[in-house]
Structure 1
C-alpha cells in the first residue's frame, strides 16, 4: 500500500507546558520540553506526503513515510530510522530541523525498525537486522525517482545509534551520517554503568516505545491502514524475551549478547563522514556512547560536546545550523566551508536561555588535548593538599543508604533552575557519604574529557556499589553539579590494554568478578563519565562518594540481584602514604571566559546551597 497527498507545512510555536515526567517520556518526545525563543516561520512550503511499506532483505515489511517538496526533484534525502514511529512521522522530535530542511529542498524519509510501530517482524534488542534493514532503507530511498541518490541519516538517541549500525553496512547511497546522543557499548553506556544494573531506564524506554506505537495505531486508524494495526497488535505485549527490559536483565555481565550486538563492533567499517553530538549530562542515554567517535575515521569525523540534556541535538539552534551546513556540503555538494570546520568542538557553559555556549574551544585531534592532573584525597575531606605523616588513614561511610539524586526536568519544571536535571532537595546523609574538596583555586581550572577516581578501600562486606559525583563549590556558597560515575567493586578488574590514566576499562565479565577481601585494602578505579567544566578562581573542585541514586532517568538497585547480595557495608576510603587514593583529570589549556554564570543558567547543571558550608 502506498498513499500520497499534498499538504502545506506550517511550523507553529510549541506551548510552554509543565508536563509530568512519565507523560513526556512515554510520548517519546523532547517536543514537550519547554524552551526559550520558539517562533513561527513565515515559509509554508507545499509538501508531498507518501506512505507505504518497503521490503527488508528477508521480505519483512517496514513502514515508511516520505515528506518532500512539490515537483520532480531530484531532492537530497534525509532518513530517520528508529523504533518509535518515524515510519509514520519522519521528523519526529526534530520538527524545527525538519521544517528547515524541507523548506531548503530536502526530502525526508522516516522508517520504523522491524518489530516496532507499523513495521512487521519481532522486536529483538540490537538485532543484526537493525543494520541490514536500515541499509536496505537507505538503498530504497536513494533509488527513488524523486531522490538525488545521496542519502544522509540524521537524528539522535534511538535514531542515533541505528546510524552507527547502518553505516557499518556501507550502503551505496549513504553519503553522510549525523548521529547524536548514541549508545555504542550497550552494556557500559546505559545497561550496566560500572557493572550496576540500570533498572529504571530500560523499563521507561520500553514503556515509551509501546505508547509511541499506540500513537502510530491511532494515526493508522485514521488513514485506514490495516497492516499497521495488525502489526502493532502483535507488538503490544510488554516484557517479551526480546524486549528492552528482559533482554538486559538476562545478561548481567558483558557477555556474547552485548559484544555481538553493540554498535561499537562495526565502527571501523564506517566509510562516510560522521557528525556526532553528545551532551555531558544527558539524562537518558548518558554521554559515554560518544566515545564511539574516537573510533571512527578522524579525517572525516566531527564532534560536538556540550553540557545539557538529551534533546540538545534538536533544541539548540546552533546545533541545527551546523547540521544544515554539514548536509548541504555532503548531500548538495555546496562549497560552504565545512571542510575547514574544526573536527572537535567543546561548547562551554551552554545556557538554558537559547542553548548557546558562552565560548567554544576546538581541536582537530581526539581525545581533546590537555594535561593530566592528579588530586590526592586526604584526611578531613581535603583534595589536592599534601598529606602529612601520621594523618588519619581513611574516611568511612555506610552503603547503601539513600543519597541525593538528579531527576529529569519534567518532574517539576522550574525555570529558575537548570534544564535537564533538578537536584533533589534530599539532605546529604553524613553517615552515608564522604566528600573531598580542594582549597579555593588560585587560578582557573578548565577540565575536559574523561576522569578516573583511583581508590584504595576496605570493606566490611564482599561487595559494594560506589557513586562518584563531581561538583564545583562556588565562592557564593552554591554547589554546581558537573558529572557522575559508578562502579560495583566486585567488577574492579581492569583491562589494562584498553585503560588510560583518565579512562579505566573494566571487563565486566563473570570470570573477572572478584569479591572484596573483607577488611583488607583493595584498589579500584572508577570511570567518571566525560565532561567539560570551567572551575574559576575562587571556586573549589569537590567529589562526593555515596550510594547510587536517581540520575536523570537512570535508577539503580544498589548492590542487588542479579550480581549482588544486598549486604550493607562500611566502606573506608584510604588516603595514607601506602594507599594514595586520587582523582585523575585532564586540564584543557586556557582560562574561563567571562564572569561566573548565575546559578541555574547552565543547561542541565543545577545549583544547591553547599551542604557543607
Structure 2
C-alpha cells in the first residue's frame, strides 16, 4: 500500500495546547502529561498517564489509542444528544475510559497521541500496519513500567475499538484483554462503500477531525475515492481478526447502522479468542459505554483478567441481547451465540400487487417501481413515486435477532447501473413508525438498513450465506435490460414485535432516511440512477426478505 501524504494541519488549529510535560496529584490520582514513549524506529510519541498516587501497588494498565487528541473532549455537536448520564468529568478524552473511575479502582490509564498526531513525532497514517506496530510498542512499554503490574488492556469506542483489533492482532506479549465497543472492522464494506455505493457524509465529516500534526499525514479522503473497488489498499487497512487471541468483551449497538453495527458483530464472530463475550443492545453507544452499571461490567471483565480477581464474569452468558421494543425498552435475554442459535430463518415473499409480504410463495407475477431520481426524504413533493413499500403484520408476539437479506429481482431499462437503498421499520398497531436511537446521539433512526450498487452484485461464495450475502466488490458487472437478481445485505438488528405490529420494507434509489449534512451519520450523494427502477415479484421472480425469527421464551 502506497500512502498519499500531505502536509498536516498545524495542531494549534485543533486547540492543541502544545507539549506541556508536568506532573500533578489530586483526589488520589497522579497525572503525568506528555510522557515521551519511543517507538522501535526512534520516533517518539507522547502520552498522558493517570494512575494511583503514592505508594500504591503496581497497577494494571488500560490504553486508549486514537488520533483525536488526548486533550480533546466531546465536540458539542456530538455531545448534545448523547444523553450520557451522569455527565462525564470535565476534560474527559473523547470515547475513552474515564480515568477518575478506573484509577479509583486501582488501574492506570494511558491516553495516546499516535504517530504524527498533535505533538507526536513522525507522519500520521490511519488503520495501517504502522499504526498497529506503534500500538504494539506502546503496550510493551506500558507493561514494563515499574508502576505497572505487567498486564495491559485496551478499551474505548469507535476508532478506539478499531485500533484494538489491529493492535491485538499483532499479539503484544503484555496485552492480556480488550474491550472493543462499536468499531468498524471492514473499512470498505462498512464505511467508505457500503454495498459499493460511496458514503459521502459521515466520512467527510470524520476526516475533519484528523490531520492535526507537525509533519505529514495520510490524505485518507482522497485515497478513498481513488480506490472505488476492494483492492490491496483496503485489504491493508482491514485487520486480521482471526489473529486476535486475547480475551475480549465486545459491545455492539444495533442502532449503529451505516457506522459500527456490522463491524462489531463481524469482529466478534471472527475473533480467534476462545474467551469472548458480546453485549448486543439498541441504545446510544456513548450512553451505554459510560453508564455506571456498564463501567462496572467492564471492570468485572478487566479485574478477572488483569487482576486475577473473583468476579461475576464466570456466570456471564456468552452473549447478551436486548430485543428492541421501543427506545431503551425490550426484553434482554441470554444467548449462547450470535446470531442466536435459536434463530429460525423465515422467508417473506414480496407481492407487488398487494404491497404486502407473505410466508407463502406468490404464484402470479407482478411489478411495481419508483423513480430513483426523487428523494424519499421529501415525500410530499412526489406523492409516493420515490419509493416502494411492502408490509408484513405479525399475528403473534415475535422476536427478531440476527442477519437479514433481501433477494430482489429488479430492472432499470436503458440504465447502465442501479443503486438501491433498503430500510426496515417497525410500525405500531396505531400505524405509527417506531423510531430508535441512531449512532451515538440521534433519536429518529430506523430498524435496519442495507445498500447495493447493482454492478457490485457479485457474491463472494466463500463468505456468503443465505442470510448474509457478502459481495466481492472486485469488479463491476454490467446489468442486463431485464430483471437481474440482487442479493442485498441488510445489517443485523434486533426487534420485539407484538401481535398487530408491522414490519415495513422500503426500497428506493436514494437515502430513505436522511439527516442534516453536518451530522455524523451515513449519507450517499453520488448515485448511479438514471432510469425508473422496476421490481419484479412472484412466479419466476420470487423476490423475498429473509428475516431472523427467534422463538419467544
TM-score grouping bracket, smaller chain normalisation: 0.7 to 0.9
**Is the contact made by 1:253 and 1:509 (CA closer than 8 Å) also made in structure 2?**
yes
**1:488-507 equivalent positions in 2, closer than 5 A:** 488-507=453-472
Pick aligned residue for 1:576 from 520, 538, 543: 538
- Secondary structure of the 2:181 match is coil
Instruction: Give the CA deviation at 1:115.
Output: 2.0
1:251 aligns with 2:227: yes
Q: 1:477 to 1:350 in 2, by over 3 A?
A: closer
1:164 matched residue in structure 2:
165
1:403 aligns with 2:403: no
Instruction: Give the CA deviation at 1:315.
Output: 3.5
Choose 279-288 or 125-134, whichever is displaced more: 279-288
Pick aligned residue for 2:402 from 436, 443, 449: 449
Distance 1:350 1:159 in 2: 29
Distance 1:316 1:143 in 2: 32
Distance 1:301 1:249 in 2: 36
**1:103-502 equivalent positions in 2, closer than 5 A:** 103-210=104-211, 213=212, 232-234=213-215, 242-263=218-239, 266-282=240-256, 285-290=259-264, 291-297=266-272, 299-349=274-324, 358-369=330-341, 370-378=343-351, 379-384=353-358, 386=360, 389-390=363-364, 393-404=366-377, 429-438=383-392, 440-460=393-413, 461-480=415-434, 481-502=446-467
1:52 aligns with 2:35: yes
Instruction: Give the CA deviation at 1:206.
Output: 1.1
Report Cα offsets for 1:582-611 as digits up to 9, x if no partner.
0001111216xxxxxxxxxxxxxxxxxxxx
- Secondary structure of the 1:322 match is helix
Instruction: Give the CA deviation at 1:205.
Output: 0.7
Instruction: Give the CA deviation at 1:568.
Output: 1.4
- Secondary structure of the 1:165 match is helix
Distance 1:141 1:87 in 2: 20
2:524 matched residue in structure 1:
556
Distance 1:364 1:299 in 2: 14
Which structure has the highest strand share of the two? Answer: 2
- Secondary structure of the 1:578 match is coil
2:443 matched residue in structure 1:
none
Choose 456-465 or 424-433, whichever is displaced more: 424-433
- Secondary structure of the 2:357 match is coil
1:590 matched residue in structure 2:
552
Equivalences, count: 496
Instruction: Give the CA deviation at 1:117.
Output: 2.1
1:7 aligns with 2:29: no
Instruction: Give the CA deviation at 1:45.
Output: 3.3
**Is the contact made by 1:76 and 1:147 (CA closer than 8 Å) also made in structure 2?**
yes
Instruction: Give structure 1 stretches of 5+ with no counterpart.
Output: 9-43, 214-231, 405-423, 560-565, 592-613
Distance 1:449 1:306 in 2: 12
Instruction: Give the CA deviation at 1:377.
Output: 0.1
Instruction: Give the CA deviation at 1:344.
Output: 1.0
- Secondary structure of the 2:172 match is coil
2:62 matched residue in structure 1:
78
Distance 1:427 1:309 in 2: 32
Q: 1:502 to 1:247 in 2, by over 3 A?
A: same
- Secondary structure of the 2:157 match is coil
Which structure has the highest helix share of the two? Answer: 1
Instruction: Give the CA deviation at 1:365.
Output: 2.5
2:508 matched residue in structure 1:
546
| Alignment root-mean-square deviation, CA | 2.3
Instruction: Give the CA deviation at 1:199.
Output: 1.6
Instruction: Give the CA deviation at 1:536.
Output: 1.2
**Is the contact made by 2:68 and 2:94 (CA closer than 8 Å) also made in structure 1?**
no
Distance 1:341 1:428 in 2: 52
Q: 1:385 to 1:330 in 2, by over 3 A?
A: closer
**Is the contact made by 2:347 and 2:359 (CA closer than 8 Å) also made in structure 1?**
no
Instruction: Give the CA deviation at 1:314.
Output: 2.5
Q: 1:134 to 1:350 in 2, by over 3 A?
A: farther
Instruction: Give structure 2 stretches of 5+ with no counterpart.
Output: 1-18, 74-90, 435-445
Distance 1:284 1:194 in 2: 11
Report Cα offsets for 1:204-256 as digits up to 9, x if no partner.
1111235xx4xxxxxxxxxxxxxxxxxx2435xxxx6x223112111101001
Distance 1:2 1:58 in 2: 24
**Is the contact made by 2:143 and 2:152 (CA closer than 8 Å) also made in structure 1?**
yes
**Is the contact made by 2:338 and 2:402 (CA closer than 8 Å) also made in structure 1?**
no
**Is the contact made by 1:504 and 1:526 (CA closer than 8 Å) also made in structure 2?**
yes
Distance 1:95 1:193 in 2: 27
TM-score by length of 1: 0.77
Distance 1:381 1:4 in 2: 67
